[in-house]
Amino acid sequence: MRTQAWFLAALVLLLPLSGCFGEDTPVTVDEPDEVNNPRTFVTGKDGLPVDEALLELEYYFSNVNEDGPEPSIGITSSGCIFFIAMEKPMRSCDGGLTWENTADITQAPFTSDPYGWVDPVTDRIFNIHMMGLESTWIGWSDNDGESWMGNPHDSGTTPLNDHIKLASGPWTDTGYGMVGQLSQNVYDQAVYFCYNKLVGIFCFTSYDGGATFVTGGQIIGLATTNGGLHGAVSTAPDGTVYVTPRVATPTIIMSKDNGFTWEERTMGTDAGTPNPRKNSEIATDTESNAYHVWTGADQGIYLARSTDSGDTWDTESLRISPVEVISTAFPQTDAGDPGRIAVTYLGSENASLLNTSDIDGNNWDGNGHYSPNEVHYHLYITYSLNALDENPTFHTYRVTDDPVQIGAMCLNSGDCRSDQGGSNRNLLDFNDLHIDREGRIYIAFADGCTGECATKETPTPADSRSSTGGMYYLASGPSLLAEFGQLEPLVDA
* pLDDT given at position 375: 81
CA gap 200, 222 in Å, rounded: 5
DSSP code string of 249-314: S-EEEEESSTTSS-EEEE--TTT---SS----EEEE-TT--EEEEEE-TTS-EEEEEESSTTSS--
CA gap 108, 127 in Å, rounded: 8
Quick check: 291 and 333 in contact, CB under 8 A?
yes
Q: Which residues, listed in sequence order, are joined to residue 396 by a DSSP beta bridge?
A: 41, 382
Residue 403, preceding peptide bond in cis (omega within 30° of 0): no
* pLDDT given at position 88: 77
CA gap 110, 121 in Å, rounded: 27
Read off the pTM.
0.89
Identity at 321, one-letter amino acid code? S
* pLDDT given at position 299: 87
* pLDDT given at position 24: 46
Let me know if 434 is exposed, middle or buried by CB neighbors in 10 A (0-12, 13-18, 19+).
buried
Q: Residue-wise over 344-358: b if at least 16 C-beta within 10 A, else e?
A: bbbbbbbeebeeeeb
- Residue 492 is given by DSSP the state -
List of domains in the chain: 17-487 (2.130.10.10)
Order of strands, edge to edge, in the sheet holding 72-75? Answer: 25-28, 98-101, 90-92, 81-84, 72-75
* pLDDT given at position 178: 85
CA gap 289, 255 in Å, rounded: 15
Count Cβ atoms below 10 Å from residue 419 Cβ, excluding itself.
Answer: 11
Query: Dmax of the chain from CA atoms?
Result: 64
- Residue 49 is given by DSSP the state B
Q: In 3-state terms, the chain is what percent helix, strand and coil (to 5)?
A: 10, 40, 55
Q: Which residues, listed in sequence order, are joined to residue 470 by a DSSP beta bridge?
A: 63, 445
Per-residue pLDDT tens listing for the chain (493 residues) = 443 333 223 322 222 333 333 344 455 555 566 666 679 999 999 999 999 999 999 999 999 989 999 999 999 999 999 999 976 789 999 999 999 988 777 767 666 778 999 999 999 999 988 876 667 888 899 999 999 898 876 555 444 557 889 999 999 999 988 876 667 779 999 999 998 877 788 899 999 999 988 889 888 876 455 556 789 999 999 999 999 998 889 999 999 999 999 999 999 999 998 876 788 999 999 999 999 999 998 889 999 999 999 999 999 999 999 999 988 999 999 999 999 999 999 999 874 554 444 434 444 444 454 455 568 899 999 999 999 999 999 999 999 999 999 888 877 655 566 666 667 889 988 999 999 999 999 999 999 999 999 999 888 888 999 999 999 999 999 999 999 999 999 987 5
* pLDDT given at position 358: 42
Let me know if 270 is exposed, middle or buried by CB neighbors in 10 A (0-12, 13-18, 19+).
middle
Output the CA–CA distances (angstroms, integers) from residue 236 to 189, 291, 332, 335, in the order listed: 12, 11, 16, 10
Identity at 431, one-letter amino acid code? N
DSSP code string of 306-357: ESSTTSS--SS-EE-S-TT--EEEEEEEEE-STT-EEEEEEEE--GGGTTSB
CA triplet 444, 69, 446: central angle to 5 degrees? 50
* pLDDT given at position 350: 76
Let me know if 45 is exposed, middle or buried by CB neighbors in 10 A (0-12, 13-18, 19+).
buried
* pLDDT given at position 54: 97
Quick check: 95 and 79 in contact, CB under 8 A?
yes
* pLDDT given at position 92: 97
CA gap 41, 16 in Å, rounded: 49
Count Cβ atoms below 10 Å from residue 242 Cβ, excluding itself.
Answer: 26
